[in-house]
Chains A and B, each alone.
Chain A
Amino acid sequence: MAANTITGDFNINAEVDVESIEASARKARMQGIKRLVRYTLLKLVALVFTVAVGVYITIVVANMGGAVDKIRLGTIRESVALAATADPAFKTMNSEQRVAYINSRVDLEIKRYGLDRPFLVRSFEYLWDGMTLNFGFSQQLVSDSGSRLVRNILLERLPSTLLLFGSANLILFFVALFAGLSLSRRYGSMADKVVLALAPTSAAPAWFYGLFLILIFAAMLKVLPFGGMVSAPPPDNPVDYLLSLLNHMILPMAAWLISAIFLTAYNWRTFFLIYSSEDYVEMAKAKGLSDRMIERRYILRPTLPNIITSFALLLITLWTGAIIFETVFNWPGIGQLYYRAIGAFDTPVIVANVVLYAYLLALTVFVLDFVYALVDPRVRVGDGGRK
């Protein structure tokens, strides 16, 4: 082979400065980490700020920019006056004493509710309370542990929601990814056409398919539970508990998958096809790489950022269906709680739930942004430009 011959001044065995390679690698790694950290922090600040602005706007709107204070003042005055008439001592007072008595009680109430301070100041206190899910006590609902603290009610149900949607979305992501890849490998095939034909099924929400799945597998075939998270009473043995949990997760996850998989797989298959026609894929072929390597390094890797963006958008829309979805499957998560809170007009729980959903949405975006930065070096640079 020609590899051993030396012509001109190129020496195949020339000494290479390993030291400087390593130095350059170190430098590049440090720079990469620095960029990643900076990018992540910026994203985090931006997202927290976004949630804060959203919550603050809700507060201002709900208080009609402070106009609600007038209504509350009126209500306080009325209830104080009503309470005073029931007081036997009140009957013996003359009119001046009565006015002074009522005014002092009203002032006390105003202080108690903090209405003596300007709305602007209080709005930021509300914001802090809202952001920390500090909504005081619920009006109707009680947590399973017996607490009436809104925060406890919510946080108790958060893990089951995260468990269901986390695993369902993870499975959705990987199934769609591999389905998309394999469809792009043989586009125009029968499987490709079938997926295209089924893509419109994603127009219906997951709970819609859930109803049918429950009907078929729980009511008719009686092989899977109707809903809930574990069988009642919950098994004591952790292994049995886990098996029961998995058994209860099959139908909701299947419904979630069916509702999104066809459109997503078709969508991503198109991404892969677009990126398969890039020049560097042709170059990789010319380089004599195996098909698997080309697919992994030259098609999957460069397409991944787009896939993640598309997935983030998908999740944002899917979150909105979570409320009915959990109710249909009787899943003890925050969606079901939200549904119940609306039914019971439990305002603190409803508002706190909205804030929690805002957090979940922000968290979803944040995680996907972080992954995006990991897979796409162009994002980390920030200015996107050349050096």
Chain B
Amino acid sequence: MEQKNELVLKVRNLRLYFNTRGGPVQAVDGVDFDLRKNEATVIIGESGCGKSSLAKAILRLLPRNAGIYDGEIWLHDQNIMTLDKEAYRKEIRWKRISMVPQAAMNALNPVMKIGDQVAEPAMIHMNMNNEEATKAAVRMLEHVGVPIDFLHRYSFELSGGMRQRSALAMALVTLPDVVILDEPTSALDVLTQASIMNLMKRMKHELETAFILITHDIATSSELADNVAVMYAGQVVEVGDARRFFTQPLHPYSHALMASVPRLREVVEPEFISGQPPSLLNPPTGCRFKDRCPKRFDKCDEEPPTILYDVDRKVKCWLYV
């Protein structure tokens, strides 16, 4: 087995609940995963499974109705959950963890020039003056393929692809340890999607950065993934090496997910998963997938343990006990 890269981010038992009128919504419920340098961990799951809440929990972007928020987030050897608000803002946000949002269209300030927006984090977190920050912004913009002319344009003057590239440059300009990509290509057409994915693949190798890719798009994510974490109803049900996950998924839900992806060279009809994901307001006890699981048995009414499978794969299912 090849030498493993340095561990950058270690998330342990992360929880984020939202208080609603009906009670707490368990959006992120005890999530564990690891991230290594120059690697990408893909968080896969269907809509409403808590993927985006996970991204917010890592960056501590909590809405007003956030309730329970605990667990451990180790960035190198520092538990960043223990930092106070101001220290977190100054030391972690964008300096060490940045993000590329879902729709870059809305993620760029409509009344600020692209160059200023990309340079802004460098000015705040790297103590650069305006000129240095602009230079840093230009370097990164050119690196991701945005021409220098766009520096003084506004976001509404850019195409969707250019906007996404600008957002990526903005996320990378401070050379953070971790970049969270929250469905970065889902608002783009297929061709632009492909070029952005290729760009991110290149960035992963060229910069000393680790990516967390949050997506529901299994097919495109396989391009970038080194590790895969499958989320279901606020929990990670399977996590492990990407290549082995894509060829041989362990959890019944992962099976079902993989079966729902159309294949290019095989004549296999895509299958769909029957039923609905459970409400995060009152998730069922025991395994949360049991109602939709084809392999359900008596044990499933109890909370399944997380099982170490092979050396580096974990699955939360009674089948592998």
Contacts and interface: CB of A to CB of B under 8 A. Distances in A.
Contact of A283 (B38, B101, B206, B207): B101
Interface in B129-171: 134-136, 138-139, 143, 148-149, 151-154, 156-159, 170
B145 to A, nearest CB: 13
Interface string A266-294: 00000000000011101111111110000
B111 to A, nearest CB: 5
Nearest to A386: B157
Given A10-B207, A16-B139, A287 B124 contact: yes
A215 to B, nearest CB: 45
Contacts of A220: none
Contacts of A286: 59, 61, 93-94, 98-99
A25 interface: yes
Interface string B19-32: 00000000000000
Interface in B194-217: 202, 205-209
Given A25-B152, A285-B61, A2 B109 contact: no
B126 interface: yes
A298 interface: yes
A279 B95 contact: no
A280 B208 contact: no
Contact of B208 (A5, A9, A285): A5
B39 to A, nearest CB: 13
A378 B174 CA distance: 29
B120 interface: yes
B157 A21 contact: no
B111 A279 contact: no
B220 interface: no
Nearest to A305: B111
Contact of A7 (B108, B109, B110, B208): B208
A362 B208 CA distance: 58
A298 B126 CA distance: 21
Given A21-B148, A288-B94, A386 B112 contact: no
A377 B110 CA distance: 8
B106 interface: yes
A28 B152 contact: yes
Nearest to A376: B111
A291 to B, nearest CB: 9
B263 interface: no
A287 B151 contact: no
B151 A288 contact: no
Interface string A3-24: 1010111111010111011001
B156 A2 contact: no
B148 A288 contact: no
Given A280-B107, A375-B111, A288 B207 contact: no
B107 A283 contact: yes
B125 interface: yes
Interface in A1-52: 2-3, 5, 7-12, 14, 16-18, 20-21, 24-25, 27-29
A301 interface: yes
A20 B208 CA distance: 28
A297 interface: yes
B90 interface: yes
Given A21-B148, A25-B151, A9 B206 contact: yes
B108 A280 contact: yes
A25 B101 CA distance: 27
A302 interface: yes
Interface in A366-387: 375-378, 381, 384, 386-387
A386 B143 CA distance: 23
Contacts of B126: 3
A18 B135 contact: yes
B2 to A, nearest CB: 18
Nearest to A14: B139
A287 B120 contact: yes
B126 to A, nearest CB: 7
A367 to B, nearest CB: 20
Contacts of B148: 17, 20-21, 24
Contacts of A386: 156-159
B250 interface: no
Contact of A387 (B108, B113, B157): B157
A12 B112 contact: no
B121 interface: yes
A24 B151 contact: yes
A301 B93 contact: no
Given A286-B98, A287-B121, A279 B107 contact: yes
A297 B158 contact: no
A8 B154 contact: no
Contacts of B156: 377-378, 381, 384, 386
A287 to B, nearest CB: 5
Nearest to B110: A302
B93 A287 contact: yes
A304 B109 CA distance: 13
B59 to A, nearest CB: 5
A5 B206 CA distance: 11
> Which of A14, A16, A17 has the largest count of B CB atoms less than 10 A from its CB?
A16
A105 to B, nearest CB: 70
Contacts of B125: 288
A28 B124 contact: no
Nearest to A32: B152
B103 interface: yes
A288 B170 CA distance: 13
B177 interface: yes
A298 B109 contact: yes
B73 to A, nearest CB: 15
B151 A12 contact: no
A285 B151 CA distance: 22
B143 A10 contact: yes
Contacts of B121: 287-288
User: What are the 5 A-B residue pairs with the smallest beta carbon separation, nearest first?
Assistant: A8-B206, A28-B152, A288-B93, A279-B106, A16-B135
Given A3-B174, A28-B151, A377-B154, 4 more contacts: A7-B38, A280-B107, A302-B109, A384-B156
5 contacts: A7-B208, A10-B207, A24-B152, A27-B149, A378-B111
Interface of B: 38, 59, 61, 89-90, 92-95, 98-99, 101-103, 106-113, 120-121, 124-126, 134-136, 138-139, 143, 148-149, 151-154, 156-159, 170, 174-177, 202, 205-209
